[in-house]
Amino acid sequence: MTTRVIIVRHGQSSYNADKRIQGRCDESVITEKGIADAKIVGETLSNIKIETIYCSPLQRAKKTAEIIQKQLKNPTNLQAVEKLKEIDLPLWEKLKKDEVKEKFPTEYRCWKERPEEFKMELETGEHFPVVSLNEQAKEFWQEIIPKNKEKTILIVAHNGINRCLIMSAIGIPIANYHSIQQSNCCINVLNFTGNWGEAVQLESLNQTDHLGIPLPPPRPPETQLRLLLVRHGETQWNREGRFQGIRDIPLNENGRKQAEKAAEFLKEVKIDFGISSPMLRPKETAEIILEKHPGVKLETKEKLTEICHGLWEGKLETEIEKAFPGLLNQWKTAPETVQMPEGENLQQVWERAIACWEEIVSSYSNSEKPITGIVCAHDAINKVILCYLLGLKPENFWNIKQGNGAVSVIDYPQGEKKSLVLQAINITSHLSGGILDQTAAGAL
């Protein structure tokens, strides 16, 4: 059974609006916009049975949590927890970001480029803000998850601690701290399969559609390259739970509707190019999306073809277990160790998918103006790409969810040579109207 954790960043604060460093300073208050957005979050979550709300005791987060609590239909307990406080940046608090860059140029560069090494020299000794925050997040999980088995809980906290909660839950290295975006009043969803230390799935990252912002805006505004990674719509084999692999199964009626909803969702986005796996299901999904963008040609790339499941293809899980006893469970628990009978292993898929992704990034990073493209592929391919971008490994394959018709957003603010930003992962709100992924749970 699963413990669902919904994580929300506080609404816009006065320091956010003024572009000041907040840290653990408690002078910053939620703005009128922050209050309005918090009400929207509450309305969005109102039909979900939330057992407990855990919030940071800092007033910008606590106020956001109180506003959300008032909108919920079921009575929900609210607890302020010290371990949800924001990152501790004592030498920078209250300063504007530009002031920090000017006064602490070397430290700021380290903060941005090597957060795992970033430190502050205090009277009490060396302080490693990001490392300490990550340990704080782990301690929170160890304390809270055992108390909430098979329940749904809500966390309302801050940019930094939210990142570390997500990172520590699924194993993202501290070096990737700045690769994860957290917008004010965004929604993230994590699914814990058991206690702390057992498998955790990132269902979604940084959803903002409920705020009237379909895709999180680029950071900074003039991002050089934005890629929208899309999983194909549903097929009948998805619906039945049959393993597809390289069998060229087309979209079913619901899959075409999902593609149409994705097209509507992305119609206001200026798309400059389109790339797809050559297989029918992603190619048709991409073509339907690009109908809203006349003149954009679709290119196919063989390396984006789905994982070859070999002798598993066309079979249900019960049939696979009968023919290959124990191998399916191995695939679910240690996927990096499985060689598909007469098919591929995950490392082979990893190598070709990542090579293809890097080729795409390299090809489109030299544009004279910011450009956006869609890349439409498959469950395994998308998971592998997202794992790689998050600093994860093949063994983390199941930590990432990809729903049929889902959209993920990856920015390269300064092209291929600089750090990327995972703006959003597995957006499915355009399919169901809610924040939870309701797509088919069928096989690959």
64-79: pLDDT as tens digits = 999 999 999 988 899 9
Q: Give tens-digit pLDDT for 94-136.
A: 999 999 999 999 999 999 999 999 999 999 999 999 999 999 9
Residue in the structure block whose two tokens are 């592998």: 384
pLDDT of residue 219: 77
The SS3 call for residue 274 is strand
The SS3 call for residue 223 is coil
Residue 102 in tokens? 């000017």
Q: Give tens-digit pLDDT for 181-221.
A: 999 999 999 999 998 989 999 999 999 999 999 999 987 77
pLDDT of residue 443: 56
The SS3 call for residue 38 is helix
What's the mean pLDDT in 377-405? 97
* Confidence label for 1 from pLDDT (cuts 50, 70 and 90): low
Nearest to 185 by CA among 61, 15, 48, 56: 61
Nearest to 179 by CA among 354, 435, 412, 427: 412
Q: Is 0.85 topped by the overall pTM?
A: yes
Active site residue 416: no
Identify the active-site residue in 10, 158, 210, 232: 232
Active site residue 306: yes
CATH 3.40.50.1240 placement within the chain: 3-211, 225-432
CA pair distance 155, 136, nearest whole angstrom: 15
* Confidence label for 407 from pLDDT (cuts 50, 70 and 90): very high
pLDDT of residue 222: 76
Q: Assign domain 3-211 to a CATH class.
A: alpha beta
pLDDT of residue 414: 84
pLDDT of residue 419: 86
Identify the active-site residue in 86, 93, 284, 306: 306
What's the mean pLDDT in 280-300? 98
What's the mean pLDDT in 79-98? 97
CATH topology of domain 225-432: Rossmann fold (3.40.50)
Mean pLDDT for the chain overall: 96
pLDDT of residue 368: 85
